[in-house]
Structure 1
Amino acid sequence: MTLGFIGTGTIAEAIIDGLAGTAHPVSAILVSPRNADIAARLAERHAHVRIADGNQAVIDGADTVFLAVRPQIAAEVLGALRFRAGQQVVSLIAATSAETLRGWVGPDVTLTQAIPLPFVAQQQGVTAVFPPTPQVMALFDALGTAVPISTQAEYELAGVGSALMGTFFGLLETASGWLAGQGMAPEAARSYVESLVGSVTDVARRHPDRELSVLRADHSTAGGINEQLHAQFTAQGGSTALAHAMQSVLARISGQGTSPER
């Protein structure tokens, strides 16, 4: 099987690097030359990666084509290309509906949408796949865990969930920065907070049958400091702010809102 990538950015690089560490049957990978540095890096690292002459050459030479261009330029890039009837096309383009995508690539392709995250480079993490085409599910299962999504609405919500990464790191940044500001060595503050959060996440994974509110209560002694911090965080609007932020991302993904100015 030959894979092709239109757009060679961070996620495309993570997928290609991740696949190199698996037994998934890929005979060749074609990458577009648009991002010359990343394309050259991939071709140097992996013998089966070849830089195509252009985007149309990627489509013509690949069985499965991944769309990995930024949404701001997707219409311009994809509108000039010709896909084969029945060709497997996997869109990694954020905040773009299947209807819009078909307007760019044509109605006759087999279209799947997916949300891989950078962790696929280490065969870790989850990738939402809609609809859960067997071929695409198998590929992302080799790169961690493929999560089958059955409706467009659920896929949009998975997109909102994927947007939590920056906020999660922001919480670690704030917490470790506060500890360091109070006198703890910065390296120790970061290590302590990262290890604590890793352990808490592991508890949640090992108890999928227990409500998160129950786990929170189990790890918060009545009248203790865990209960105090969460109560203050909520009272100061932390939980509400997160919910509002997620709602704004959903509005953007579903086409009911606009992208922030950059």
Structure 2
Amino acid sequence: MKRDPKELTLGFIGTGTITEAVVTGLSKTEFRNTRIVLSPRSDSVATRLSATYENVEVATDNQDVVDKADLVFVAVRLQIVEEVVRALRFRPGHHVVSFVAATPLPRLAEWIGQSVRLSQAIPLPFVANLHGATAIFPPDDVAAAIFAPLGTAVQVESKRQYDLIAAASSLMGTYFGILEITSSWMEKRGLPRSAADAYLRGLFAGLGDVTSSRDDICFKELIADHSTVGGTNEQVFRHFSSDGGTDAVVNALDDVLARIEGAATSSVG
């Protein structure tokens, strides 16, 4: 008989920004009473979380996390993941979810050295506020049950699909870059920077609400809904496309995807 995911003990190897965001988000959901065990590596984060939430405790070391947890999240830096994972003793059948990018599951399985239930996920910092989407590969009903309340859980069927999501996640800096360019443009032409920033925050927060509340409509339709024929929105998007903006985005994503797939290949070889 399957256990309710809320009854599992969740363990985190690595206590950086993403672990803090996930634990913070879980505290706002039906998982608020689920036992959580944190590794002590980042003492300030682990100590702060354990002091804030009664269901969170700090383990003596990484092996203590593995020993106590039913589901172990691996959330360490790519540069040290092999060293950390190889040093741990997992149980046969242990459930492990990796947050480490560009590290293929076969290689992780080799380092673990046991037959475990293994998957990958890409939670983003927004899960702390129950926003955003978390990609999961391969599909995993327990991981999906945990991440769905933190925003949206998107399960994919292949490594290629997972890598495409990872590449698309690289647009965050560009998004904020567009806001910075626009705010600077407004300031240089006479609007105080504080007013420009405030307006753009509100504008794009509203657009974010539109995308999250209308999952029955595609982005192409949203372009039409927000671009009156002959209007200024249509004009700006036409300039963006004709001046190479579309090609720049596609080319950048292709380069990032090649980098992700190349890193995965090199880590296997």
- 200, 210, 235: which is aligned to 1:228? 235
Matched, 1:22 2:68: no
Give the match's secondary structure for 1:255.
helix
Could you tell me which residue of structure 2 aligns to residue 49 of structure 1?
Answer: 56
Code of the residue aligned with 2:67 in structure 1: it is D
1:86 to 79, 85, 93: 93
The gaps in structure 1 that reach 5 residues or longer are none
CA distance in 2 between partners of 1:57 and 1:168 (Å): 40
Per-residue deviation, 1:77: 1.4
2:153 alignment partner, one of 135, 146, 151: 146
> 1:213: how far off?
3.3
Q: Which runs of 5+ in 2 are unaligned?
A: 1-7
What is the alpha-carbon root mean square deviation over aligned residues? 2.2
Give 1:46-195 correspondences, 5 Å limit: 46-195=53-202
SS at match of 2:262: coil
1-side partners of 2:142 and 2:220: how far apart? 37
Q: Residue 197 of structure 1 aligns with which residue?
A: 204
Instruction: State the shift of 1:25 in Å.
Output: 7.0
Indicate if the aligned counterparts of 1:29 and 1:49 stay in contact, CA closer than 8 A: yes
Q: TM-score normalised to the size of structure 2?
A: 0.88
Aligned in 2, Cα 1:240/1:257: closer, same or farther, shift over 3 Å?
A: farther
In the TM superposition, what is the alpha-carbon distance from 1:258 to its structure 2 partner? 9.8
Distance in 2 between residues matched to 1:124 and 1:231, nearest whole Å: 31
Asked if structure 2 preserves the Cα contact closer than 8 Å seen for 1:2 and 1:26, the reply is no
Task: State the shift of 1:137 in Å.
Answer: 0.8
One-letter code aligned to 1:109: V
Distance in 2 separating the partners of 1:86 and 1:12: 23
Amino acid at match of 2:145: A
Query: Partners of 2:80 and 2:148 in 1: how far apart?
Result: 29
Match of 1:254 in 2: 261
How far 1:234 moved relative to its partner? 2.5
CA distance in 2, matches of 1:153, 1:62: 30
Distance 1:206 1:34, change over 3 A: closer
In the superposition, relative to structure 1, how do residues 212 and 17 fare at CA in structure 2: closer, same or farther (>3 Å)?
closer
